[in-house]
Structure 1
């Protein structure tokens, strides 16, 4: 009998069907419906949100994408300075554990009609790029995959990388330095789309080097798995909530999200660091001061939306669709 696909709008009640080692301090988890039901589809670059004990929500990129999925496959590295998410996964989840999962969301989409794609990943940042590489390979598209690690013992998901003939590995210690971002970007075809996921410093260098090489912002794609270093927005300003009909003062040191919730207004969020996109709100009037790692440079210039967990205002007043 054909299984019914799960709803794509509500949290999914899944279980951990398998856990396997995936490299240094990293595990591979397979998440499935207990009855074998089909799961909502996921495009290359998408992530899911795990609803962990203690009210912790964390986003993890899907290693496999597709329109007919019976499981979600993710890799979770135990972070030495974990805020609770990776520790909850490593210490609290076992095969058979029940887990709530929000359906896939894609803030790092693949441009599927690009003539050439260059995928650059650092450490655990290779996870969304593996789903992209799989799609590109299956559809016969030209691409390069570069995976950079501090050393060979730090290599993650080696079996997955072995399946990608285009994959090139870089180890900082063996090469005598970090991955050659500038040279890799310069060598890419001029009409290539460039993708990077990894440590914040790597992505900031990637963006700067791609722009210095004359690449169009529309061809520069990136996703942080940790927030970039940025000062908290300073200064006070006013937010007017168009739907709620109230105005609120946002004092220095407070986020819009904190002020809105203190006023009893419901507002979605997850990471609260500007990396997941869950708190994105439409801007009706005013000029946002962006501190997130989700919006593209073009989106930030246009100022039509903002992440209220971390971003502030360049104008004295913002009108938000809340």
Structure 2
């Protein structure tokens, strides 16, 4: 079962296209005078969406607060959603089926990407694409409390980068913009690390290749793990060579076939099981499951190299099987 929180009834008060593929929604209480829960920079809400197969599901979107008042005493929630043409349909629903005036079911804010409390060291904030949404809120919070920042914002083109004018005004000379079509190459992660100071905390959000590049550089540089903070905005993509495999559930005696385009967790839910899960991105650890046998293809961002080598635990939301069969203690 998913970890849940309070469900709010919120009305769409405005909807605007920020770029060709990013839509901003502003959500206010459907009941006049209803107080909304406060949140902190890095928090998200979850919208209930309808998918092309007729099912409903929840999709998480980071809250955008360009000043601390919008977070501490919110009168509404602001999100921005990028249309993912190769996704499962959640962003398509947000772009095509939600209209001003609609009342949506929204799970109250939660924060799985918090900033360190009372930390006065410099916050180095790195955003890739739509990953700017939590990063912009962090920049605003740091400015409010007087914490030094250095902001790196990367995208394919300036015309596709949401909140660029707002970040430019907010961060000023502390903002470094990287547009692929201007630079002709990806973000220079090595250059960023070369400029880090020993006490800096690094916060980053963006596509999986950017996350992987930053984590690899942090490991290469021996950067302290407790000074590295990140959030994916989507599950890791399918990889070449992904194949169907079987999962035997030792406790129930049932064997399931996991197709190429579904995770173990998805199949468990489809088959009527009630597994614990939360992020579905391999970040939170809630879906960790004991493995009795089989060769695990680890794709999470939680287990250490030693834990992965031990091969006795996996995260069913993203990890798969290298061979033909896994036996899980379920």
Q: 2:46: which partner in 1?
A: 49
Q: Secondary structure at the match of 1:141?
A: coil
Tell me by how many angstroms 1:85 deviates.
Answer: 1.5
Q: 2:26: which partner in 1?
A: 30
Q: Secondary structure at the match of 1:23?
A: coil
Separation in 2, partners of 1:304, 1:104: 33
Q: Secondary structure at the match of 1:266?
A: coil
Q: Do residues 10 (structure 1) and 6 (structure 2) align? A: yes
Cα distance change of structure 1 residues 275 and 58 upon mapping to structure 2, 3 Å threshold? farther
Q: Do residues 198 (structure 1) and 206 (structure 2) align? A: yes
Query: Out of 105, 111, 121, which is 2:116 matched to?
Result: 111
1:1-322 equivalences in 2 (<5 Å): 9-34=5-30, 35-53=32-50, 54=54, 55-64=56-65, 66-114=71-119, 115-161=121-167, 162-165=169-172, 166-229=174-237, 231=239, 232=242, 236=246, 238-240=248-250, 246-251=252-257, 253=259, 255-258=263-266, 260-261=268-269, 264-267=272-275, 274=281, 280-281=286-287, 283=289, 289=296, 291-292=298-299, 295-298=301-304, 301=307, 307-312=315-320, 317-319=327-329
Q: 1:5: which partner in 2?
A: none
Separation in 2, partners of 1:78, 1:258: 22
Residues 236-264 of structure 1: CA distance to partner in whole angstroms, max 9, x if unpaired?
554456xxxx4544556474435544653
Name the TM-score, length of structure 1 as normaliser: 0.80
Residues 140-161 of structure 1: CA distance to partner in whole angstroms, max 9, x if unpaired?
1122111112222222112321
Cα distance change of structure 1 residues 118 and 84 upon mapping to structure 2, 3 Å threshold? same
Cα distance change of structure 1 residues 296 and 142 upon mapping to structure 2, 3 Å threshold? farther
Separation in 2, partners of 1:58, 1:230: 19
Name the TM-score, length of structure 2 as normaliser: 0.78
Count of aligned pairs between the two proteins = 306
Tell me by how many angstroms 1:14 deviates.
Answer: 0.7
Separation in 1, partners of 2:312, 2:48: 29
Separation in 2, partners of 1:175, 1:229: 25
Q: Secondary structure at the match of 2:71?
A: coil
Tell me by how many angstroms 1:167 deviates.
Answer: 2.1
- Retained in 2: the 8 A contact 1:290–1:307? no
Tell me by how many angstroms 1:60 deviates.
Answer: 0.9
- Retained in 2: the 8 A contact 1:148–1:170? yes
Deviates more, 1:64-73 or 1:280-289: 280-289
Separation in 2, partners of 1:168, 1:239: 50
Where structure 2 has 5 or more consecutive residues not aligned to the other structure, the ranges are none
Tell me by how many angstroms 1:50 deviates.
Answer: 0.8
Separation in 1, partners of 2:302, 2:283: 13
Residues 2-58 of structure 1: CA distance to partner in whole angstroms, max 9, x if unpaired?
xxxxxx933111111112232232122111112232222222211111102341422
Where structure 1 has 5 or more consecutive residues not aligned to the other structure, the ranges are 1-7
Residues 113-162 of structure 1: CA distance to partner in whole angstroms, max 9, x if unpaired?
44121111111111111111111111111221111122222221123212
